[in-house]
Amino acid sequence: MKLSVIIPAQEKNQHHELGDLCPFGGTTLLEWKISQCKDFLKVSEIYVSSSSLKIKEVCQREGVNFIERMQGDDYNDMLDLSFKIVPTNTVIILNPTSPFIGEEIVRQMCKNFLELNLGYLTSAQKKYEYIVFKNKRLNFTEKNKLRKEIDPIYILTNGCTIIDKAKWKSDQDVFLGEQNLFEVDALTSIEICEIDDYSMANELISLYFKRNLNV
Protein backbone atom coordinates (compact mmCIF):
# COMPACT_ATOMS: atom_id res chain seq x y z
CA MET A 1 0.00 0.00 0.00
CA LYS A 2 1.47 3.33 -1.11
CA LEU A 3 1.13 6.08 1.47
CA SER A 4 1.61 9.79 1.89
CA VAL A 5 1.44 11.90 5.02
CA ILE A 6 -0.14 15.33 5.30
CA ILE A 7 0.86 17.46 8.31
CA PRO A 8 -1.42 20.48 8.80
CA ALA A 9 0.65 23.20 10.48
CA GLN A 10 0.09 26.68 11.88
CA GLU A 11 2.51 29.44 12.79
CA LYS A 12 0.22 30.61 15.61
CA ASN A 13 -2.51 28.87 17.59
CA GLN A 14 -4.14 28.82 21.00
CA HIS A 15 -1.60 26.59 22.75
CA HIS A 16 1.43 28.78 21.99
CA GLU A 17 2.21 32.10 20.34
CA LEU A 18 4.64 30.26 18.06
CA GLY A 19 2.08 27.59 17.16
CA ASP A 20 3.63 24.44 15.69
CA LEU A 21 7.01 26.18 15.64
CA CYS A 22 7.15 26.29 19.43
CA PRO A 23 10.07 24.51 21.16
CA PHE A 24 9.64 20.82 21.88
CA GLY A 25 12.17 18.09 22.65
CA GLY A 26 15.17 20.12 21.50
CA THR A 27 13.47 21.07 18.24
CA THR A 28 9.97 22.32 17.36
CA LEU A 29 6.62 20.52 17.36
CA LEU A 30 6.57 20.56 13.55
CA GLU A 31 10.12 19.29 13.12
CA TRP A 32 9.45 16.64 15.79
CA LYS A 33 6.49 15.39 13.74
CA ILE A 34 8.44 15.50 10.47
CA SER A 35 11.21 13.46 12.14
CA GLN A 36 8.67 10.86 13.25
CA CYS A 37 7.37 10.62 9.68
CA LYS A 38 10.88 10.14 8.32
CA ASP A 39 11.09 6.96 10.41
CA PHE A 40 8.65 5.20 8.06
CA LEU A 41 8.37 7.30 4.88
CA LYS A 42 10.62 8.93 2.31
CA VAL A 43 10.79 12.74 2.42
CA SER A 44 9.07 12.79 -0.99
CA GLU A 45 6.01 11.19 0.66
CA ILE A 46 5.70 13.82 3.42
CA TYR A 47 3.60 16.95 2.82
CA VAL A 48 3.11 19.92 5.13
CA SER A 49 0.03 22.09 4.58
CA SER A 50 0.24 25.68 5.83
CA SER A 51 -0.22 29.35 4.96
CA SER A 52 3.00 30.28 6.80
CA LEU A 53 6.19 31.32 5.02
CA LYS A 54 8.22 30.40 8.12
CA ILE A 55 6.81 26.89 7.96
CA LYS A 56 7.63 26.78 4.25
CA GLU A 57 11.26 27.53 5.17
CA VAL A 58 11.24 24.62 7.66
CA CYS A 59 9.97 22.30 4.93
CA GLN A 60 12.74 23.41 2.58
CA ARG A 61 15.36 22.70 5.27
CA GLU A 62 13.82 19.30 6.03
CA GLY A 63 13.47 18.39 2.34
CA VAL A 64 9.73 17.69 2.56
CA ASN A 65 6.90 18.93 0.35
CA PHE A 66 5.05 22.15 1.14
CA ILE A 67 1.40 22.75 0.23
CA GLU A 68 0.56 26.43 0.41
CA ARG A 69 -3.01 27.12 1.48
CA MET A 70 -4.95 30.29 2.04
CA GLN A 71 -5.04 31.75 5.52
CA GLY A 72 -8.46 31.08 7.02
CA ASP A 73 -9.05 27.82 5.12
CA ASP A 74 -10.98 25.32 7.22
CA TYR A 75 -10.20 21.62 7.62
CA ASN A 76 -12.23 20.54 4.58
CA ASP A 77 -10.56 23.20 2.43
CA MET A 78 -7.18 21.87 3.56
CA LEU A 79 -8.17 18.31 2.65
CA ASP A 80 -9.62 19.27 -0.73
CA LEU A 81 -6.46 21.11 -1.78
CA SER A 82 -4.07 18.52 -0.34
CA PHE A 83 -5.88 15.60 -1.96
CA LYS A 84 -5.51 17.25 -5.37
CA ILE A 85 -1.74 17.46 -4.89
CA VAL A 86 -0.84 14.28 -2.98
CA PRO A 87 -0.54 11.42 -5.53
CA THR A 88 -1.35 8.38 -3.37
CA ASN A 89 -4.90 7.19 -2.74
CA THR A 90 -4.24 6.42 0.92
CA VAL A 91 -3.38 9.48 2.98
CA ILE A 92 -2.39 9.79 6.64
CA ILE A 93 -3.16 13.04 8.46
CA LEU A 94 -0.75 13.61 11.36
CA ASN A 95 -1.03 16.68 13.57
CA PRO A 96 2.06 18.22 15.23
CA THR A 97 -0.07 18.81 18.34
CA SER A 98 -0.10 15.04 18.99
CA PRO A 99 3.64 14.47 19.51
CA PHE A 100 3.42 10.97 20.97
CA ILE A 101 1.89 9.28 17.93
CA GLY A 102 4.93 7.80 16.27
CA GLU A 103 5.90 5.09 13.81
CA GLU A 104 4.61 2.10 15.79
CA ILE A 105 1.08 3.46 16.19
CA VAL A 106 0.89 4.61 12.56
CA ARG A 107 2.01 1.20 11.31
CA GLN A 108 -0.58 -0.55 13.50
CA MET A 109 -3.30 1.78 12.24
CA CYS A 110 -2.29 1.22 8.60
CA LYS A 111 -2.44 -2.55 9.12
CA ASN A 112 -5.92 -2.23 10.64
CA PHE A 113 -7.04 0.13 7.86
CA LEU A 114 -5.87 -2.25 5.14
CA GLU A 115 -7.14 -5.50 6.67
CA LEU A 116 -10.62 -4.11 7.31
CA ASN A 117 -10.78 -2.31 3.94
CA LEU A 118 -11.79 0.96 5.59
CA GLY A 119 -12.35 4.35 4.05
CA TYR A 120 -11.57 6.20 7.26
CA LEU A 121 -9.81 5.41 10.54
CA THR A 122 -8.93 7.77 13.38
CA SER A 123 -7.19 7.48 16.74
CA ALA A 124 -9.27 7.66 19.92
CA GLN A 125 -8.89 7.15 23.65
CA LYS A 126 -11.31 4.85 25.47
CA LYS A 127 -12.45 6.15 28.87
CA TYR A 128 -14.94 5.10 31.50
CA GLU A 129 -16.47 8.39 32.61
CA TYR A 130 -19.93 9.45 33.72
CA ILE A 131 -21.20 11.74 30.95
CA VAL A 132 -24.04 14.24 31.24
CA PHE A 133 -25.05 16.29 28.20
CA LYS A 134 -27.72 19.00 28.27
CA ASN A 135 -28.66 17.83 31.76
CA LYS A 136 -29.28 14.25 30.57
CA ARG A 137 -27.30 11.13 31.39
CA LEU A 138 -25.68 9.70 28.27
CA ASN A 139 -24.02 6.46 29.28
CA PHE A 140 -25.46 5.53 32.67
CA THR A 141 -28.95 5.20 34.06
CA GLU A 142 -28.74 3.17 37.23
CA LYS A 143 -28.14 4.90 40.53
CA ASN A 144 -24.67 4.25 41.99
CA LYS A 145 -23.55 2.20 39.00
CA LEU A 146 -19.84 1.35 39.17
CA ARG A 147 -17.54 3.17 36.76
CA LYS A 148 -16.27 -0.09 35.26
CA GLU A 149 -19.86 -1.11 34.48
CA ILE A 150 -20.89 1.96 32.48
CA ASP A 151 -20.62 2.16 28.70
CA PRO A 152 -17.23 3.60 27.72
CA ILE A 153 -16.84 6.77 25.73
CA TYR A 154 -14.26 7.36 23.00
CA ILE A 155 -12.48 10.69 22.73
CA LEU A 156 -11.15 11.50 19.26
CA THR A 157 -7.53 12.57 19.68
CA ASN A 158 -7.05 14.13 16.21
CA GLY A 159 -3.56 12.68 16.31
CA CYS A 160 -3.74 10.31 13.36
CA THR A 161 -6.40 9.87 10.69
CA ILE A 162 -6.12 7.62 7.65
CA ILE A 163 -8.33 8.34 4.64
CA ASP A 164 -9.03 6.57 1.35
CA LYS A 165 -9.25 9.48 -1.12
CA ALA A 166 -11.49 7.62 -3.55
CA LYS A 167 -14.04 6.84 -0.85
CA TRP A 168 -13.75 10.42 0.45
CA LYS A 169 -14.58 11.82 -2.99
CA SER A 170 -17.63 9.58 -3.32
CA ASP A 171 -18.87 10.29 0.21
CA GLN A 172 -17.57 13.41 1.95
CA ASP A 173 -19.82 12.63 4.91
CA VAL A 174 -17.44 9.80 5.79
CA PHE A 175 -16.54 11.64 9.02
CA LEU A 176 -20.20 11.79 10.03
CA GLY A 177 -21.10 8.15 9.42
CA GLU A 178 -20.08 5.07 11.37
CA GLN A 179 -16.93 5.84 13.31
CA ASN A 180 -13.94 3.59 12.69
CA LEU A 181 -11.76 4.09 15.75
CA PHE A 182 -8.30 2.87 16.67
CA GLU A 183 -7.81 2.82 20.42
CA VAL A 184 -4.67 4.46 21.83
CA ASP A 185 -3.48 4.82 25.41
CA ALA A 186 -3.37 7.93 27.59
CA LEU A 187 0.16 9.00 26.63
CA THR A 188 -0.38 8.50 22.92
CA SER A 189 -3.70 10.32 23.04
CA ILE A 190 -2.27 13.58 24.41
CA GLU A 191 -3.25 16.48 22.18
CA ILE A 192 -1.83 19.93 22.80
CA CYS A 193 -4.84 22.24 22.72
CA GLU A 194 -4.00 24.61 25.57
CA ILE A 195 -0.83 25.95 27.19
CA ASP A 196 -1.28 23.48 30.09
CA ASP A 197 -1.29 20.59 27.59
CA TYR A 198 1.95 21.95 26.11
CA SER A 199 3.63 22.07 29.53
CA MET A 200 2.48 18.54 30.39
CA ALA A 201 3.65 17.12 27.05
CA ASN A 202 7.11 18.59 27.59
CA GLU A 203 7.29 16.86 30.96
CA LEU A 204 6.40 13.50 29.37
CA ILE A 205 9.02 13.43 26.60
CA SER A 206 11.38 11.22 28.62
CA LEU A 207 8.55 8.74 29.28
CA TYR A 208 7.83 8.56 25.55
CA PHE A 209 11.45 7.71 24.75
CA LYS A 210 11.69 5.16 27.55
CA ARG A 211 8.61 3.35 26.31
CA ASN A 212 9.76 3.36 22.68
CA LEU A 213 13.17 2.00 23.70
CA ASN A 214 11.56 -0.52 26.09
CA VAL A 215 13.73 0.80 28.92
Q: Give the DSSP per-residue string, 32-61.
A: HHHHHHHTTS-GGGEEEEES-HHHHHHHHH
Let me know if residue 66 belongs to a domain. yes
* Per-residue pLDDT at 81: 93
> How many domains is the chain partitioned into structurally?
1
- pLDDT tens, position by position, 1-16: 799 999 999 998 777 8
Residue 127 lies in a domain: no
Q: Is 151 contained in some domain? A: no
Q: What is the pLDDT of residue 215?
A: 44
**111, part of any domain:** yes
Residue 20 lies in a domain: yes
The domain that holds 105 is classified in CATH as 3.90.550.10
The amino acid occupying position 198 is Y
> Taking Cα atoms as reference points, which of 57, 50, 42, 55 lies closest to residue 5?
42
172: in domain = yes
- Residue 174: its pLDDT value, please? 58
Q: How confident is the model at residue 175 (pLDDT cuts 50, 70, 90)?
A: low
Q: Is residue 65 part of a domain?
A: yes
Which has the minimum average pLDDT: 89-93, 99-103, 200-204?
200-204
Mean pLDDT across the chain: 88
At 101 the pLDDT is 95
Residue 141 inside a domain? The answer is no
**Which structural domain range is residue 207 located in?**
3-122+158-212
Q: 32-75 pLDDT, tens per residue?
A: 999 999 999 999 999 999 999 999 999 999 999 999 998 878 88
pLDDT digits (tens, 9 = 90+) for 143-166: 667 777 888 889 888 899 999 998
